């Protein structure tokens, strides 16, 4: 499912820039302590919600390895985790433990709109919410789809007791 409307392409290109900026491009800066990262196209991912961490409940940001991070917090009673990987390919996995009964796409739209309302620097996430709705009929739970020229998207959900885990995976690779 690639986009054909030029306005959508421009809008999603902005979003892609945001996605990639969380894993900044390696610029040849190499030293012994960065030997693993120096072989990568991208540096280690950085926190997406750092600018608003003081307004989030239980905010944490951890490095899980040289090219992997975990960011977690509570927002509107939703437990949120974001796992980012970056080296030569980039992926961001948003995990939500929720009691919401909304469809997976409607939930994703609402939560990304909530993200974008936290701070002007996060407004670009509103464009993901808009595209989720624009592509609603094409997004199928559990199936990876080409969301743009360079982003593949997969949404799925798993029951957890009385709640469910919703996962939104965005990656630069097809597999």
At residue 19, the pLDDT reads 52
pTM of the shown model? 0.80
Asked whether residue 42 carries a pLDDT value surpassing 90, the answer given is no
* Tens of pLDDT, residues 147-156: 888 889 999 9
Q: Is 15 left (phi over 0), alpha (psi -120 to 50) or beta?
A: alpha
At residue 92, the pLDDT reads 94
* Tens of pLDDT, residues 82-141: 999 988 888 999 999 999 999 999 999 999 999 999 999 999 899 999 999 999 999 999
- CB contact set of 91 (below 8 Å; sequence gap of 6+): 83, 84, 85, 169, 170, 171, 172, 173
At residue 130, the pLDDT reads 93
Asked whether residue 165 carries a pLDDT value surpassing 50, the answer given is yes
């Amino acid at each position: 499912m690639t986009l054909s409307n030029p306005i959508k392409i421009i809008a999603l290109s902005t979003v892609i820039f945001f996605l990639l900026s969380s894993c900044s491009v390696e610029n040849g800066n190499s030293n012994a302590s960065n030997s693993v990262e120096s072989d990568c196209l991208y540096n280690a991912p950085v926190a997406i919600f750092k600018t608003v961490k003081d307004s989030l409940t239980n905010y944490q940001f951890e490095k899980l390895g040289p090219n992997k991070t975990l960011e977690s917090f509570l927002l509107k009673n939703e437990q949120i985790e974001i796992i980012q990987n970056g080296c030569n390919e980039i992926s961001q996995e948003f995990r939500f433990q929720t009691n919401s009964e909304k469809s997976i796409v409607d939930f994703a739209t609402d939560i990304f709109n909530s993200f974008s309302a936290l701070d002007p620097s996060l407004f670009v996430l509103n464009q993901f919410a808009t595209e989720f709705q624009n592509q609603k009929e094409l997004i199928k739970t559990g199936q990876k789809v080409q969301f743009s020229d360079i982003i593949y998207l997969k949404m799925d959900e798993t029951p957890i007791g009385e709640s469910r885990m919703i996962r939104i995976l965005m990656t630069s690779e097809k597999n």
